Structures are given as C-alpha cells and as structure tokens.
Amino acid sequence: MANGMLGKKIGMTQVFTESGEAVPVTVIEIGPCTVMQVKSAQTDGYSALQLGFADKARKRSNRAESGHARKANAEPKRFVREVGWDGQGEYELGQTLTVDVFNEIKWVDVSGTSKGRGFAGVVKRHGFKGGPKSHGQKDRHRAPGSIGQSSDPSRVFKGTRMAGRMGGRVTTRNLEVVKIDPENNCLLVKGAAAGPNGGYVEVRKAKAHPPA
C-alpha cells in the first residue's frame, strides 16, 4: 500500500479526550489525491506512486503538465510529489486515494515548507541561550560560542549549528494521529506541523514511532 499522501495545512485547534484533557492538534486536509504515475521495480527500478493534489487550471498549465495529466485522464495538479509504495496492491492511473489510507496508521511524519525568515543568528535559528549577561561580557550576548577545536582535530565539524538562512523544507517526525474525518477529508495530528496555514504538506507513515 501507499505509505503517504498529499494535503494542505488548515490550521491548529484543540480537541478534548474522554477525561477532559485538551489536546492541541494540527488539522490537515488530506486528498483526495489522484494517481498520476505508477512506478514499479520492473519498469523504473523502484516502487513509488506519483500523486497529484488540488486541480490546476489548464490555462495556467504548460504543455508538459497538461499532457502528463491527460495520460491519467485527470486535470493538471498544483502539488505533485512521489510517495513510497511497498509494491503490494493494485494501483491504476487516475485512481483516487483518500484519507482512508491512514486508517491503520497511528504515527506519521509531516513535511512542509516553513516561512522564510532570511539570514538569522543561532539564538533565533537554533534556540541557543547566548552568552552571560554580566561579568564584563560585551557584544557576545547572542554569539554561538566556540565552534571548533585547537590542535586536534583542528577543524570545524560538518553540520555544526551556526547562523544562516532560516526557513525551508522541514519534516516533523512522529506525530500521533488523533482523529480521522473521512467526511471532510481531514487528518488531525497531535502537535504542530511546519508551514503556514494553506501550505501544501506531505504526510507519510512514520519510519519509527517513539516508544510507548
């Protein structure tokens, strides 16, 4: 079966458990998604499904997009991505997938595009505490501190958190599925997911869920 779907972030709200506890949730509109292409190990070397979400006006689509959609007997789509597929089950071009894909799934990973914030320092970008605010400290309140070593290994390790461009592709892992609303094609997950309201997201079955 497909292990992911495409959708749109609606916003955040809260739901209440039977014990009266308020649970913050992100509401995601999932599908319906159209199967635009089926890739198999025999023809492409790997198994995957290319899905399309949200119709796009033909006059705003180029010839390649229109021709690709015509093969699936569908309208061009605004958001097209590949999702994993284990090779099991039968999928056809033009087939419609809904939020029911997540009926048996309890944990998901959500990928979205966060708001671009330009060049940002380590305090804003990574949540660093900053330097001490007293004892003669000057102009180092929001500095990252030491980033390297001296004689050994005499270099800065790759991946060291430093200032830089903030915003872009963000994946929030292991979000618990709180509720599925098939009537409104909505999925409610516990916690926050990246991206602005109305932004497109990919929702996939979590690779590894946290221990109970």
Taking only the tens place, the pLDDT of each residue in 145-184 is 888 888 888 899 999 999 999 989 999 999 999 999 999 9
Domains of the chain: 4-131+160-205 (2.40.30.10)
The DSSP call for residue 127 is -
How many residues in total does the chain contain? 212
Lowest mean pLDDT among 2-6, 24-28, 141-145, 208-212: 208-212
CA distance 160 to 4: 31
Give the position of tokens 């705003």: 60
Cα-based distances in Å from 148 to 47, 127, 143, 152? 43, 19, 14, 9
For the segment 74-111, what is each residue's pLDDT rounded down to a tens digit? 999 999 999 988 777 788 899 999 999 898 889 999 99
